[in-house]
Amino acid sequence: MKYVDEFRDGEKARVLIGEIESLVSGMKLPEGRPLYLMEVCGGHTHSIFRYGLEGMLPKAIELVHGPGCPVCVLPMGRVDDCVAIAENPKVIFTTFGDAMRVPGSRKSLLQAKADGADVRMVYSPMDALQLARRNPAREVVFFGLGFETTMPSTALTILQAESEGIRNFSVFCNHITIVPTIKAILDSPGLQLDGFLGPGHVSMVIGTAPYEFIANFYRKPMVVAGFEPLDILQSIWMLLKQIAEGRVEVENQYARVVPSEGNNAALRAVAQVYELREFFEWRGLGSIDHSGVRLRDAYVHFDAERKFAIPNVRIADPKSCQCGEVLKGALKPWQCKVFGTSCTPETPLGALMVSSEGACAAYYQYGGQKRQAEVV
């Protein structure tokens, strides 16, 4: 296959659905429940609802939507820290667009911008560095956010700033790591999962070896999956094939993009610039050990967290918001009490309704609110 359209071919999708149905019909299923398969990445969640894949699958399979959207797991306290930095009149605060509307306890970055803060949307950290070159009298802060997918670009930008001697540029580092996150999910009491669709973009950087513990110690199969409809359907078929044959392995469906050893140049930049935090706070999941990174001491002059005074206070989510249960797969978005009523993409109470990769936003955009109405 050479072109995107080939990965969206309806006839091939029907063949794959037929193969999935055939596999399921011959399997011994768990008593009293369907097979629970979690897609870790928010990009998969978005594609599943965009193309209606969940409705094509046999009822014996239920997809569980994981915490793989970095915007969605950002706790309110960290948003408050962003706003505090952005409200400094000497600062130009730069961020990716999907982080602009994440609610803090007082306001979002978008509301801070409306109130006069100089908050600008950028498409890469290099855009922020260019702003620093053009505005030598201002401090330019980049909101570093994302899993290992975006860590290398931030790291390389810091290395570029260092090589040019630019000192009015810094990063508010909120980069997070995927492996401790999956481990925290697997350690959650009472959570039933039969397999994982692994994140394609993260794996493009770290490779497939870091996931081996999932098969070796937790005895759960994983298939690293691409993001097109046929990618996801084939990955589900591969997971079911493992379960049917009694195998527990880490397989790579997305081999056209994901090398098993990862991207060595990206990993070198990450290792040079970052070190693991002892713990990091996640919205809905609590504190997870070694799940975030910070800048090494050698790059302290690029660390906005140490350059500016920030509140650094933990803030609880609104009691009415059930983002935490949705992130852990305990609830479907439409089962949340405020979904589609007081919580919508225009007026989000929780972060899952903000990003297009958030499960609540995906459900809402592609018809999930209708299902909620039917249940009510």
SS3 state at 318: coil
CATH of 4-67+191-252, one of 3.40.50.11750, 3.30.465.10, 3.40.50.1170, 3.40.710.10: 3.40.50.11750
The pTM is what? Answer: 0.88
Output 32 or 165, whichever has higher pLDDT.
165
What integer best gives the mean pLDDT of the chain? 90
Cβ within 8 Å of residue 226, ≥6 positions away: 7, 200, 232, 235, 253, 254, 256, 257
Other beta carbons within 10 angstroms of residue 352's beta carbon come to 35
What's residue 74's pLDDT?
84
Residue 171 CA from chain centroid, whole number: 19
Q: How far apart are the first and last CA of the chain?
A: 44
Poorest-pLDDT segment among 64-73, 178-187, 208-217: 64-73
Cβ within 8 Å of residue 210, ≥6 positions away: 178, 179
**By the 8 A CB rule, do 211 and 177 touch?**
no
pLDDT tens by residue, 318-359: 777 787 777 766 778 888 888 888 888 877 777 678 777 778
- The mean pLDDT value for 271-290 works out to 90
Residue 160 CA from chain centroid, whole number: 26
**By the 8 A CB rule, do 73 and 285 touch?**
yes
What's residue 325's pLDDT?
77
- The ranges of the chain annotated as CATH 3.40.50.11750 are 4-67+191-252
pLDDT at 308 over 50: yes
What's residue 61's pLDDT?
95
Task: Determine the Cα–Cα distance for residues 376 and 307; give it in Å rounded to an integer.
Answer: 50
pLDDT tens by residue, 15-42: 999 999 999 999 988 888 999 999 988 8
Q: How far, in Å, are 38, 219, 319 from residue 32 at the CA level? A: 19, 21, 31
The DSSP line for 336-376 is: STTBTTTB-SSS-SSGGGTSTTSHHHHHHHTTHHHHHHHH-
**By the 8 A CB rule, do 45 and 39 touch?**
yes
Q: Return the axis-axis angle of helices 42-50 and 229-245, rounded to nearest 10°.
A: 110
What's residue 320's pLDDT?
79
Other beta carbons within 10 angstroms of residue 213's beta carbon come to 15
- The ranges of the chain annotated as CATH 3.40.50.11740 are 76-176+292-307
> What CATH number is given for 76-176+292-307 in this structure?
3.40.50.11740
